[in-house]
Amino acid sequence: MARPKRLPVQGSERAEMPAARVVGPVGDDELVDVTIRVRSASGGLAPRAATAAPMTREELAQQAGASPDDLRVVEDFAHEHGLTVLGASPAERAVRLRGPAGAMQSAFGVLLNRVEHPGGTFRQRTGAVQVPAALAEIVTGVFGLDDRPQARPHFRVAPGAPAAGGVAAPKAAPHAAGGSFTPPQLAQIYDFPKGFNGQGQTIGILELGGGYRKADLDAYAAGLGLQPFQVVAVSVDGGHNAPTGNPNGPDGEVALDIEVAAAVAPRALIAVYFAPNTDRGFLDALSTAVHDSHRKPGVISISWGGPENTWTQQARTAFDQVLQEANAIGVPVFAAAGDDGASDGEPGLHVDFPASSPNAIGCGGTRLTAAKTARTAETVWNDLPQGGATGGGFSVFFPAPAFQKPAIGAKKMRGVPDVAADADPVTGYQVRVDGVNLVIGGTSAVAPLLAGLTALASQKAGHGPGVLLPKLYAAGSPSAAFFDVVQGNNGGFNAAKGWDPCTGLGVPDGSKFAAVGWAPPKVPALALKGGDEVAPQPT
């Protein structure tokens, strides 16, 4: 029997966009950009042990990158169909193409339609992407043919008006129940390492819309008694720093992320990777940050995501592979667990992706009350049904990684979140957006807060944490490195002693968290002749 001329790309099937109306076919001359992901020449990375030394980015490219021959085959295929090769990256295992929609449809065996949706007008494909049989084992994903929004920001503006009196300084008055906080105040309450400012560290932040204004960042820093922050915008797939002027829109997410991370680690470089809100844009932003050999972020913060079931299998797989690459070079990626409770805004129980990847550190949310610099209470954030609540639960796609199994008991699937911190908008973060002082919460605040903690811990230790997440679980649950949140629920699961699907291991105690996560690897004692032993020295 003759082999079919074309084969579907595994996991590329896509359903129609809910609540969308097909207007008609996309014009043949409309330019479309796509990213083709290809296989690793070595077959990919093996899971990293907590004791494994981090690779350099150069070593990662050598051990997990694409074969030049595979890239050439894809480039030849593109040229045969009249497509322009924008670039090929062996390290990222990616070939980026541009061409008219008509040529893209012919090349990948798809139909592209224009659809109208309450959120805008988009290009949609359904079914699977097809490639020639000769490429079927080489190509692992094709992204960009469909440009529907892939993710949503996980922030919530506090009900009511902006923060009274504007942005408070770190020496603000004690907080009663329901009071808001500046990031430095939270750093004090959570006992982040003292005497460090992030000097020499780079924090990567992914953004899929909106932008920041330097005047806002400067005013915010001055209000906290800090020098101007060091922020650089990095364009990915045509995305760029583009503030909308609406503090309740994506600008709120961008400002929250930058200001929280920078206020905690004020001398760190904040590299903000702006990309379009599509599966291609999101994936390329992460891949760019992980493989950025110029700015070299030592930690990455992600405040965007969507329910697992809204992602294609090829997208989940590709994203998880890049997160695994981040682990391999010792770059932890903190990802918000979502703000819609255990449902993640969908019928039934769902977790948010990419937080549900076993290679990401999922960030849940709490409601914090404190007096001066002391916690008085901390419970699960849940303002349902009128407001939001921390995401959390169990993946239906990713098995539980070995390091998590002791903490989650009989459950067989990946549990989310791993860690938590203040996220309730009522006890939220004082920030400045588009010239307005606001209080904002959501699990999207937790990711940059813990990215800032990571920068401080790395500065203190003189090196990065290596493979962080397995170390945190190896410390046990409950662990002295965390405040164990045992009260509250997220609409589907209850808090409990030890790990739970509301706040994970708990809220990091900054200094103890750093001691656990940045400890040198344990090496077995060396047996010597004569039966003597010598204890290994830390490396």
Phi, psi of 58, deg, nearest 5: -70, -40
58 in catalytic set: no
75 in catalytic set: no
Say if residues 182 and 169 touch (Cβ distance below 8 Å). yes
Which two structure tokens, joined as six digits, stand for 248? Answer: 């309740």
Q: What is the identity of the amino acid at 500?
A: D
Active-site annotation holder among 216, 253, 308, 352: 253
Between helices 214-223 and 250-264, what is the axis angle to 10°?
Answer: 40
Whether residue 8 is preceded by a cis peptide bond, meaning omega within 30 degrees of 0, is no
Say if residues 246 and 255 touch (Cβ distance below 8 Å). no
Active-site annotation holder among 287, 301, 444, 479: 444
Say if residues 355 and 416 touch (Cβ distance below 8 Å). yes
In order, the DSSP letters of 54-65 are: PPPHHHHHHHH-
Q: What is the identity of the amino acid at 436?
A: V
Number of C-alpha atoms within 13 angstroms, CB side, residue 518? 19
As a whole number of angstroms, the distance between CA 274 and CA 440 comes to 21
80 in catalytic set: no
- The 3-class SS string of 72-139 reads HHHHHHHHHCCCEEEEEECCCCEEEEEEEHHHHHHHHCCCCEEEEECCEEEEECCECCEEEHHHCCCE
Say if residues 208 and 282 touch (Cβ distance below 8 Å). yes
Three-state DSSP class for 426? helix
As a whole number of angstroms, the distance between CA 385 and CA 392 comes to 16
As a whole number of angstroms, the distance between CA 185 and CA 263 comes to 10
In order, the DSSP letters of 413-480 are: EEEE-SEEEE--GGG-EEEEETTEEEEEESGGGHHHHHHHHHHHHHHHHTS--SSHHHHHHHT-SS-T
Using only C-alpha atoms, the chain has a radius of gyration, in whole angstroms, of 23
Active-site annotation holder among 33, 92, 257, 284: 257
Torsion angle (degrees, nearest 10) of CA 498, 504, 506, 508: 130
In order, the DSSP letters of 343-385 are: GTTSSS---EETTTSTTSEEEEEEEEEEETTEEEEEEE-B-TT
Bridge partners, residue 8, by sequence: 130
Three-state DSSP class for 331? coil
Strand 269-274 versus strand 230-235 pairing type:
parallel
As a whole number of angstroms, the distance between CA 131 and CA 77 comes to 9
Q: How long a stretch of residues is the chain?
A: 539
Q: What is the identity of the amino acid at 508?
A: P
Catalytic annotation, residues: 253, 257, 444
